[in-house]
Structure 1
């Protein structure tokens, strides 16, 4: 997005570079708040539209443009989170955050590439699927307060300006959110072990070896599939290691020509299922100890637009 400084002056806004340098930070923030790269990009576009709707004099009166952009983006996200709750109540089946791609194979638990997903999102533990799923259980205000303070290190006074509550109230919101995170956490497995388990899962799936699959899954494992009503997917979580294994093999029987690829999904080893080179499913995994505890399989094509080499125009039905 490039916007001239003033009509007829022939020069770009001298502050454009500084303003646009905030884009990466705004995308990082908005994705964590919304769980959707598509919506995050829309938020950033709207944020910049509001900036450039102001006169040059109004812009120059803003002491910290970066802080202004963050406040606006945070408020837009807060409003969207409120409306998203209503939308997701009518969503067909289970809703999973939009997975982020890293189009490089992973080796021994490490990404073989250096570019982060979509060249926009900085990877850390606050971006893995297990973390994002817990964020979905929070109220909009909890989520915004927690992400801004604990992840992006904004003061509670700054958070209060965005959330519209007192700094003390925002501190309590972040504390409540932090408690949810801690209650859901399991000891993380070393990266190499995580990668090895996912690779073994892939091989067992390809071999249709139910015994091997059951052995890799925790007895209490769960699998959640998100088709958004656009493609077939389990409408409710599949619970129990053996039940998950049988569901996986049933999928293999229904789609015998799928190709499974090892890919980084939200910063961790995952799997991508393709048919004739088109991504049909992206799976993320949560590992506890030496077993797979959770599998999240995104099949909704509206959430896979960034995984496709020539992504079609996305619709909003997968929000």
Structure 2
């Protein structure tokens, strides 16, 4: 029997060797922490389906942002949970609404050390829970929604958001927001396009996190999980409309789409490790079925390996500590 001369195992012999030849690495600056701030809260409100994640009060939000700065992560993505909602999501454009007030507070205190980003979508603010304005038949009106998005963009930019996360999946949203920002002089405010966002079953815990009022689903505007090429088409359109960053969401079940987008994009590509991904790992770890730290590290590493330049993850601060 002839012994093999090509032995890939040579590069796996020790931890030091494996570390030396690793193709993909994690860095705290590549991590972004999604955060929820609840109007009227005087202390953090635990989210039952996402152990360890809370709806913040304004004070606890500031403390968490301080932790994010200390951890060296790249940024935070803010979501607002208002006390009152209406059909057009009026709170979303109120300068003193919970999201805009929170943005102003964090941008003023931490803007030099942390990229403060905001979710630009109406679902948290509407009494019907959809990401846009409804027409007389109860369907989401794409073009009427774009007008609200432009108004939201200006409100968030005035509040100090550095990156606007366009998550609503309306046709033409990037172009409309970019035009509104530039016309108002916010030429340096960046647009993060949720380019390939799928109608996923893994959003479940997020609905609790933002106290969603949704009845029904969002399949007329979020993408069909069966479609891979469509994700690339959506990303290509957002690139053409002037997005500064494009994102694939969710991450776990759409690594193929993430890889496709990364292959063709000449701007940063991000991915969102969503609430259901977080909840599954936490639940399995709590039951002793998996090694929690190893699963977290592997899950985020796989997203980076597939092509994400940065990852939105609820483990951002904890993971940054492990990396350090």
Taking structure 2 as the reference length, the TM-score comes to 0.27
Higher-helix-fraction structure: 1
Rg larger in structure: 1
